[in-house]
Amino acid sequence: DTEVTQTPKHLVMGMTNKKSLKCEQHMGHRAMYWYKQKAKKPPELMFVYSYEKLSINESVPSRFSPECPNSSLLNLHLHALQPEDSALYLCASSQEGFANTGELFFGEGSRLTVL
């Protein structure tokens, strides 16, 4: 069982829709991450929140908007996406505030399809 919970598991949306992906962890971890993973590729870092503050934005297009309401929750708001944004979106957390620890705890991902 994973201790990082992502919802929804699957999402299909049109290019004009607004939707959100949600992530929750109750391990007391201080850093949370969004990764994007295309088929047969490694995860690509999108955003990092450390102590509830955005610490890294990997030049992600503004149609992706992260939010960290508290230390246990992480959202990814989606608007005006393109078909090439279809991917598996993975949330992860780490115990310490972000430095560069590689010990990440991943959720099972949200499979996004943009039509």
Partner 1 sequence: AQSVTQLDSHVSVSEGTPVLLRCNYSSSYSPSLFWYVQHPNKGLQLLLKYTSAATLVKGINGFEAEFKKSETSFHLTKPSAHMSDAAEYFCVVSDPGRDDKIIFGKGTRLHILP
Residues that bind partner 1 (CB under 8 A): 2, 4, 6, 40-43, 45, 56, 88, 90, 92, 99-109, 111
Least Cβ distance, residue 104 to partner 1 (angstroms): 7
Nearer to partner 1 among residue 15 and residue 54 (C-beta):
54
**What's the rounded Cα separation, in Å, for the pair 23 and 52?**
13
Could you tell me which of 89, 84, 80, 112 has the C-alpha nearest to residue 32?
89
Least Cβ distance, residue 15 to partner 1 (angstroms): 24
Nearer to partner 1 among residue 18 and residue 51 (C-beta):
51
Q: What is each CA distance from 76 to 1, 40, 101, 111, in whole angstroms?
A: 23, 23, 22, 13
Q: Contact, 5 vs 24, CB < 8 A?
A: yes
Least Cβ distance, residue 80 to partner 1 (angstroms): 26
